[in-house]
Amino acid sequence: MNIILASPRGFCAGVNMAIESLDLAIQAFGTPVYVYHEIVHNKYVVETFKAKGAVFVNDLSKVPSNSHLLFSAHGVSPEVRQTARERQLIAIDATCPLVTKVHLEAIRFAKQGFMIVLIGHQGHDEVIGTMGEAPEAILLVESPEDVDQLTIADNAKLAYLTQTTLSVDDANRIIERLKARFPQIVGPPKEDICYATQNRQEAVETLSSEVDVVLVLGSQNSSNSQRLKELAIENNVKAHLIDGPEDIDGNWFKSTDTVLVTAGASAPELVVERCIDYLRERFDATLQPRSIRNEEVHFPLPRELRSLNMQEMQTENSKAEK
């Protein structure tokens, strides 16, 4: 067996920032630190933080007053922020800046009198947060067929936005249908689908033609991981979305297969390594790393944690000097 290990894969800058934020909050404030929704959509990451003392909640009434509360990478609505203030919670905002960008675009378009068509998945945390910025002005579509069902005046002032973790191809199909039906529609100055989502999709698109099977590391509720699996299948390659080696069925493979291994933007490298170890032990697999492009994006910590991080760095530097 030959393993092609795709790069880029795994954690993006937004996920790195959110995970670092929660780690630092636990170190600085002790436990429990509460998190509104999952910090990122990954089973392994969530379970690891539960073991460290993080408490994940979907209802702020479950959070005691004056507790530390971290908003996840997917962002929250203004209503959630207001509830946190009313309950006197000490909020730390670990929203990915690329999600914040979409929120700000929604606010701007709504203030300018636009009706907004949001392309995304019903019920996804990011979509709920974005729609909460201007619920009276946002309509959600998930497919080109949904566009056909919209009841909007032909001359309406119209704009579109997208969830950051969509399939680029799927989003473009919906945007094309919107433009065909509503020629006056405008979009954001810069596309909303995040760089990491696009790069991971590009790697699968480029490399899947060389392989027999694609393994995508990521959880079932991870939108960007699901898109990687779907993209491989669209390219007529067998693909499986798994949390780790315990989900692998050896019958998926022949000993002569070439297997592409990649990971969604919320999947840690540790589970990638464990899956590679499984394939090496079971099929005597060899490893071939393949890089499509480099990523050098870094997002700063939330302002509530930046001073703490500086203090930690200064302490570490002092220890090193001694």
Task: Point out the residues that are catalytic.
Answer: 126
**Contact of 17 with 39, CB cutoff 8 Å:** no
Place of tokens 């990971």: 263
Local structure of 63: helix, strand or coil? coil
User: What b-and-e string marks burial along 110-124, b requiring 16 or more CB atoms within 10 Å of the CB?
Assistant: beeebbbbbbbeeeb
Tokens standing for 73? 């990478």
The rounded distance, in Å, linking the Cα atoms of 314 and 322 is 12
Sequential DSSP letters for 95-131? --HHHHHHHHHHHHHHHTT-EEEEES-TT-HHHHHHH
The rounded distance, in Å, linking the Cα atoms of 53 and 23 is 10
The rounded distance, in Å, linking the Cα atoms of 106 and 120 is 14
The helix (H) or strand (E) run that includes residue 292 is none
